[in-house]
Amino acid sequence: MDTRTYDIDGFTEELVAHGLIIPTGVPGAYGRGPVFEDILRRFDALVVREAAPDGAQELTFPPILARRLIEQLGYLDNFPQLAGSVHSFTGSDREARELSERVHAGERWEDLLSPTEVMLTPAACYPVYPTFSGLLPQGGRLVTIMNWVFRHEPSPEPTRLQHFRMREYIRVGRPEDVQAWRDAWLQRGLELLGRLKLPVASDVASDPFFGRAGRMMAASQVDQRLKFEILCPVISREKPTAICSFNWHQEHFTSRFGIRQHDGGVAHTACLGFGLERVTLALVKTHGYDPADWPRDVRSLLWNDA
């Protein structure tokens, strides 16, 4: 019988007591201690090692996106509730004094800010799609990204953060190649997480589309089997946490950015993302708060020291 406890508050308290996470007073925005960060980086490095034979091109972007790109991606049609917008001050001397006075008087001041040209990146893969614009090379392309992403979903659950990191792989090319790549990675992901002795399972899934129309979109996404997740119990046995997701976008991005195969044929995209904080928390929940006590073969995969 599984005797681990799944009390959210208890788990969070233990994570804090062991110095793994550092509360900041903002839900979903805790700091990471050195042990947490070491596990996270070692897991990320393990994924990159495992995927190395595929020869993905590694790109790096800042954790902000052009406001214009967020509009083009259709993000605000589907997930306005998760969006994060960057605002700053562009006013006069007089307004600057008013801003400062209001802050010190404990009054609201945000209306004196105006939106900048950037939003916070909500998915690590988003800046990549415009770079594929035009005709692809024969065989398509494969890119990998590791980045911080923001989602406005404040929560007491230590697994539901506002700012977290994703290691993503993004494939673009012939529809059948892209789908086969996504399916193969689902098995590869299960196998890799299984070697870390995580009690994982996969399931078809949907995105948290906004509102009533969103519920229909989510149902259609499930029907078409466009999204899969690898789930692992972290804060609940009954509701395991998605630690890795696999998305087949079909023509959603290629049509928006004019992306075609080398011969002009229709191209598709798919991406997969490991939620690095969630994998770290799954490892801690499964194997214990001190990695020195983890099973030897799990340690040897991550630390190469057993």
**What does 271 interact with, of ligand ATP, Zn ion, none (CB < 5 to 8 A by kind)?**
Zn ion
Q: Choosing among Zn ion, ligand ATP, none, which partner's interface includes residue 165 (Cβ < 5 to 8 Å by kind)?
A: none
Q: Pick what 174 binds: Zn ion, ligand ATP, none; C-beta below 5 to 8 Å, kind-dependent.
A: none
Within 13 Å of residue 155, how many CA atoms lie on the same side as its CB?
13
Strand locations in the chain, DSSP E?
21-22, 31-32, 57-58, 64-66, 85-88, 114-120, 134-135, 141-150, 163-173, 201-205, 227-232, 241-250, 259-260, 268-275
* Nearest of 178, 82, 74, 101 to residue 136 by alpha carbon: 178
Residue 226 touching Zn ion (CB under 5 A): no
Of 187-195, 217-225, 273-281, 291-299, the window that binds ligand ATP (rule: CB under 6 A) is: 273-281
Span from 85-93, 94-102, 202-210, 285-293 in contact with ligand ATP (CB under 6 A)? 202-210
Q: How many residues contact Zn ion, by CB under 5 A?
A: 3
CB closer to ligand ATP, 161 vs 302: 161
C-beta separation of 245 from 228 below 8 A: yes
Q: Which does 302 bind (CB under 5 to 8 A by kind): ligand ATP, Zn ion, none?
A: none
Q: Is 245:205 a contact under the CB 8 Å cutoff? A: yes
Q: How far is 273 from 271, CA to CA, in rounded Å?
A: 7
Q: Looking at 27-35, 98-106, 214-222, 263-271, which segment touches Zn ion (CB under 5 A)?
A: 263-271
Site string for ligand ATP, 204-223 (x = CB under 6 A): -x-xx---------------
Q: Is 259 exposed, middle or buried (0-12, 13-18, 19+ CB in 10 A)?
A: buried
For the chain, the distance separating the N- and C-terminal CA atoms, rounded to the nearest angstrom, is 28
Q: Are 142 and 56 in contact (CB under 8 A)?
A: yes
Is 301 an interacting residue with respect to Zn ion (CB under 5 A)? Answer: no
Minimum distance of Zn ion from residue 65's CB (angstroms): 13
CB of 161 within 8 A of CB of 28?
yes
Q: Is 296:270 a contact under the CB 8 Å cutoff?
A: no
125 binds Zn ion, rule: CB under 5 A? yes
Task: Work out how close the CB of 207 gets to Zn ion at its nearest, in angstroms, rounded to a whole number.
Answer: 11
Could you tell me which residues are beta bridge partners of residue 147? 166
Q: Smallest distance from the beta carbon of 142 to ligand ATP, in angstroms? A: 18
Check residue 161 for interaction with ligand ATP (CB under 6 A).
yes
Decide: is 65 part of the binding site for Zn ion (CB under 5 A): no
Cα separation, 204 vs 254, in Å, equals: 23
245 lines the binding site for ligand ATP (CB under 6 A): yes
- Max distance between CA atoms of the chain, in angstroms, equals 67
Q: Which does 278 bind (CB under 5 to 8 A by kind): ligand ATP, Zn ion, none?
A: ligand ATP
Joined tokens for residue 23: 């509360």
136 vs 178 by CB, closer to ligand ATP: 178
Which range of residues in 38-46, 156-164, 181-189, 267-275 is near Zn ion by CB under 5 A?
267-275
Which of ligand ATP, Zn ion, none lies near 56, with the C-beta cut-off 5 to 8 A by kind?
none
User: Under the rule (CB under 5 A), what is the footprint of Zn ion?
Assistant: 123, 125, 271
User: Under the rule (CB under 6 A), what is the footprint of ligand ATP?
Assistant: 151, 153, 160-161, 164, 166, 205, 207-208, 229, 242-245, 273, 275, 277-278
